[in-house]
Amino acid sequence: MSKDENRLNFRMKPETAEKLEHWYKADHCRSKNEFVEKAVNFYADSLAAENSTTLPLSIQTAIDGRLKLLEDRMAAILYKQAVEIDMALSILLQSVNVDESVLRQERTKSIAAVRHTNGRLRMEQKLRELENEEWQG
């Protein structure tokens, strides 16, 4: 035992001793002391988390890991979508002769539509809008 370690003798109920015997092996601890120390630190971190606005490091690390996976997946999906949109726009613009001023007008309309619908655009909505414009115009 090193000089900076504290020795603590304590009594426990037989049920607790059985749990200790079973779980220290299941947790791959080298000794019961290691398991008890991990358990005390875990419980102390739990108590500290209840009294704090910050998350314990283990929980924050787990959340960061999951968010990184989500971010990577979303980036891959958005990249694939951007490629598909670019292909579709290239094909469309090759088939239709559109003036640059018309593009600017359509961009302005599209920005307004996205803001109005909070980004929840549907093709059916756009079709109805175009039909109404044709009927009125």
Residue 123 lies in a domain: yes
Same-domain status, 61 and 93: yes
Q: Give the type of residue at 2.
A: S
% of the chain surpassing 70 pLDDT: 93
Q: Rounded CA gap, 131 and 121, in Å?
A: 16
Q: Give the type of residue at 71.
A: E
Structure confidence by residue, pLDDT tens digits, 59-79: 888 999 999 999 999 999 999
For the chain, the domain total comes to 3
Q: Which domain holds residue 120?
A: 100-137
Residue 23 lies in a domain: yes
What residues have CB less than 8 Å from 23, skipping those under 6 apart?
35
Statement: residue 137 has pLDDT above 70: no
Are 40 and 51 within 8 A, CB to CB?
A: no
Same-domain status, 49 and 38: yes
**pLDDT mean over 82-108:** 89
